[in-house]
Each structure stands twice: as structure tokens, then as C-alpha cells.
Chains A and B, each alone.
Chain A
Amino acid sequence: MPGAQERILRRRINSVKATKKITRAMELIAASRVVRAQQRANAARPYARQITKVIEDLAASGASVDHPLLRDAGEVRKVAYVVLTSDRGLAGAYNTSVIRATERELHANQLAGVDYELITVGRKAAAYFRFRNYRLAASYEGISDKPTYENAREVAEFITNLFHSGGVDKVILAYTEFISIASQKVTVRTFLPLVPEETIAEVGSATAVAAYEFEPSPEAVLAALLPRYVEARLFAALLDAAASEHANRQRAMKSATDNAEDMIVRLGRQLNRARQDAITTEIMEIVAGAEGLKGNQGDDEDLLLDRLDPIHLFPQHQEQQHSAPGHV
């Protein structure tokens, strides 16, 4: 039956068009969210910088830098992994690359006889690791899209407690670092213990030499400061991950929209061909019918159709030449 294929193609084109509308909308939403997430990440920077500066000042004034968060356990028997992923998919390889990197690290350590704890942020990591029967110490959902400092505090507190009293000797953080809108990098690095060289970097600057007065005491200030520092670092990682998520989603949705466009063009061509085929078939049928009638009525010259040879009208349909009944 002619037209059946046309109908199917038309339906497919419509559905691809609808999908394209959705992916395009998601692309635009993601694009605006990247900008906002970037702004938030930038807004968080002064705080982190100031906290780091105070720690540097503390170190410069000769306070004894000894705190559980700074203590290296030596032999590592248990590592906690903190994985930052998103709650929702459709973000390209964003989630899988972080999860893969974590799993690789975890397996390597497991072979060396190191136990693990898993802390996941985002539904995707939780689903992945739960499905594969990993033990999850904690999982946080609903915060990765737009993390607040309150969220960072909650997670940081859990991690710090594990580190203090959960037998965890090391905490590794896996997340996607936001370098620019076009480039994000999966980063797996030690989160705790804090590395003194990293925390107390570049003390040498002239301003740091000034003798500080500490209230109540250098040790007490440090003890109050380090947990805030951990929170600020985690908050920065969460904000980076959120910006990366939106950038990845934007990219994935852009290529989906492009693909949909290509597909619409391709299907449109198929549709045109199918329509032409249907028209040709119809003409053939009419011509055949007329030919049949002519046989009955006799007078050849009267029929205009005699001069309408389909082969001349539709040269691309040469293959139908043999079956064409118009050519007697």
C-alpha cells in the first residue's frame, strides 16, 4: 500500500523534532546554570583564601602545627573514598568517568590489602556502587546540583568523624575539577590528612612575618580553624563538581540536538523519496489502467496518454522500463 512508509517516516520525524525541542531546552538551561555555578565557585574563593592565609600566619608565628587532621597515620589500612557525582543523568560521561576513576583506585588499594569506606554524593554514584554490592558508609542525595555551605558542612563533619574515630587513615576525594567551560578534569586526590606543605604553603612572604597575637591561643585558633578549612575545601570541590556537571550536560545536550537535526534532514530525504516513489507508482497504475481501456476502445491517436511515456517524464525510473505498459 503506497503511503504506509510515508506515514511511518512522518511519525518518526515528528518524534525526533519533539526530542530535539527537549534537548535544546536542556542545553539552554544547563548553559545558564554553568554560569551561575561558576559565579558561586568564584564567590567562595575569598573565604578559602582568607582561611588559608590565617593558617599560614599561624604557622609563620611558630604555633605548634600539631592536630589530628594533620597527622599522617603512616601505614594506611583503611581508606575512605568520597565520590562527587550528580543526581541526574544525561550529562555525557560526567558520572561514569568519576565513578570509574574511583573504582580503579579502590581496586588497586584493595589488592594491596587496604579496606575501604565509600561516601557518595549524588544518586548516580550511590546507584552504581549499591548495584555492585559495595558497602556505602553514607550517601547524600539532592545536593550536588546546587550545593550550599550547609551541605558541605554536613558531609565534612561525617568524613572528619570517620577520620577521627572510624579507623580511617586516609580520605580520598574524587570529583570533576572545573578548569574552564570547555575543559573539566577528573581529579582523585588525598583530602585528609591535610598535607602541611599544601596548607601552609609559601610562608616566606614579607607580610607573614609580623608577630601575631592569638586569642585565646594559637593552638585553640588552629583547632577551630582546621575543621572550617576542611569544610571550605569540600565546599569548593562541591561547587566545582556542580559547575562541571552543568558544563557536561550542556555539551551532551548540544550534541544530542545536533544529532537530532541531522536525523531530521536524513529522514526528510527518505520521506521525499518515498513520496516520489508513491507518486510514480500511482502514475504507473493510471497509465496501466488507461492502456487497458484503450485496448477496448480502439482509437490510438485520441489518447493523450500515448504521448506521455513515463520513461521520458521520470528518467530516474529507468528500471521500470520493462514493466512499463505504456510502451507498446
Chain B
Amino acid sequence: MTLQVELVSPEGILFEGEADMVIARTVGGGDIAFLTGHVSFVGTLAAGLVKILQPGNQSQLIATHRGFVSVSHDRVSILSDVAELSATIDVARAEAAKARAEEELRAHSDDDEARASLRRAEVRLQAARG
């Protein structure tokens, strides 16, 4: 038995396939792992990594910055309007964004926007590096 996973963004379905386990980070709940037979669940995703462990020791890493995860009857749907598969992440750009955000934060330490973009860049880099 495996999980049916789909990652859906408004621009289209980014990923669709089977998985043994899905790990996501939810708001307030920390990391949560889903296996087959998990109780029906809806959660709000925090900026973080979603890890999809596929059969045969493969895995997909996805950087999501917000969204939802919905689980029912061994179907996992990840809804996110800002999601990137690790394979499509531009590391150089993410690093530049990170440097820029750090710069901003040094100038104004209370800049929430800069903090958010720093977090996004870090998540992206984490996903890209596995």
C-alpha cells in the first residue's frame, strides 16, 4: 500500500505520484509525517520543506512557503500557491536572495518582510541541497 500524492499549485499540478511517506511542517504542529491509514487530516503549512519518500528509495523535496495539506483515504494533497520542487530551484538566485535579505535585516532588524524572505531563501536552499 502506498500513498497517492499530488502537489497542486494554481499554475498546475507540479507533482503527482506514489509515496511511502510524506513529511510536512504545519503551523503550530511542527513536522508531521503521514503513512498509509492516517486519519483524515487538514493542516496549514508553515514555510518549510515537504519531503515525499517514494518507493525505491527515491525522494522529492519541495519548498513550500505556505499552503495546506489534506489527507484522506491515503490520498495526500498538498495545496500551495508558492511551492517549488527541489529540481527547479535556482540555487544562485536563492543565495543572492538570502544575502539581500540578510543585508536588509542588518539595516532594520524589525523588518518582517526581510525576515520572511530570508526564511524563504533558506528553505529553498535547504530543499535544493537535499
Contact of A210 among B32, B72, B79 (CB under 8 A): B72
Whether B68 and A211, one on each chain, are in contact in the complex, defined by CB atoms closer than 8 angstroms, is: no
In angstroms, how far is the closest chain B Cβ from the Cβ of A53? 7
CB of A51 closer than 8 Å to a CB of B: yes
A44 touches B10 (CB 8 A): yes
Is A158 on the interface with B (CB-CB < 8 A)? no
Q: Distance (Å) between the CB of A226 and the closest chain B CB? A: 12
Contact with B along A204-224 (1 / 0, CB 8 A): 000100111111100011001
Shortest A303–chain B CB gap in Å is 86
Kindly state the separation between the CA atoms of A235 and B77 in the bound complex, as whole angstroms.
20
Point out the residues of chain B lying under 8 angstroms from A221, CB to CB. Answer: 42-44, 68
A58 and B68 alpha carbons, distance in the complex (Å) = 13
Would you call A275 an interface residue if the criterion is a C-beta within 8 Å of the partner chain's C-beta atoms? no
Residues of A within 8 A of B73 (CB): 207, 210
Within B63-82, the residues touching A (CB, 8 Å) are 66-68, 70, 72-73, 77, 79, 81
- Contact between A47 and B40 (Cβ–Cβ < 8 Å)? no
Known: A50-B70, A232-B10. A212 touches B77 (CB 8 A): no
Residues of B1-36 at the interface with A, using a CB-CB cut-off of 8 Å, are 6, 8-13, 26-29, 32
Contact B68 A43 (CB under 8 A): no
Number of B residues near A (Cβ < 8 Å) is 27
B32 and chain A: residue at smallest CB distance: A215
Decide: A220 and B44 in contact? CB cutoff 8 A.
yes
What number of A residues sit within 8 Å (CB to CB) of B? Answer: 32
* Contact digits for A190-211, partner B, Cβ 8 Å, 1 yes 0 no: 0000000000000000010011
Known contacts A57-B70, A215-B29; is-contact A47 B79 (Cβ 8 Å): yes
Asked whether A225 lies within 8 Å of B39 as measured between CB atoms, the reply is no
Q: In the complex, are the beta carbons of B42 and A47 less than 8 A apart?
A: no
Most chain B CB atoms below 10 A, which of A47, A207, A220, A235: A47
Interface residues of A in 209-253 (CB under 8 A from B): 210-216, 220-221, 224-225, 228, 231-232, 235
Asked if residues A216 and B28 are in contact (CB atoms below 8 Å), the reply is: yes
Q: Distance in Å from the Cβ of A56 to the closest Cβ of chain B?
A: 11
Asked if A216 meets B29 with Cβ closer than 8 Å, knowing A47-B8, A47-B10, A50-B77, the reply is: yes
Contacts of B41 in A (CB 8 A): 212-215
Asked if A153 lies at the interface with its beta carbon under 8 angstroms from chain B, I say yes
Min CB distance A116 to B, Å, is 29
Given A215-B26, A221-B68, A231-B81, the answer on whether A58 and B42 have CB atoms closer than 8 Å is yes
B67 to chain A minimum Cβ distance, whole angstroms, is 8
**Is B28 touching A225 in the complex (CB atoms < 8 A)?**
no
CB distance from B51 to the nearest CB of A (A): 17
Given contact pairs A54-B79, A224-B44, A212 touches B72 in the complex (Cβ within 8 A): yes
Q: Name B's A-contacting residues (CB within 8 A).
A: 6, 8-13, 26-29, 32, 39-44, 66-68, 70, 72-73, 77, 79, 81
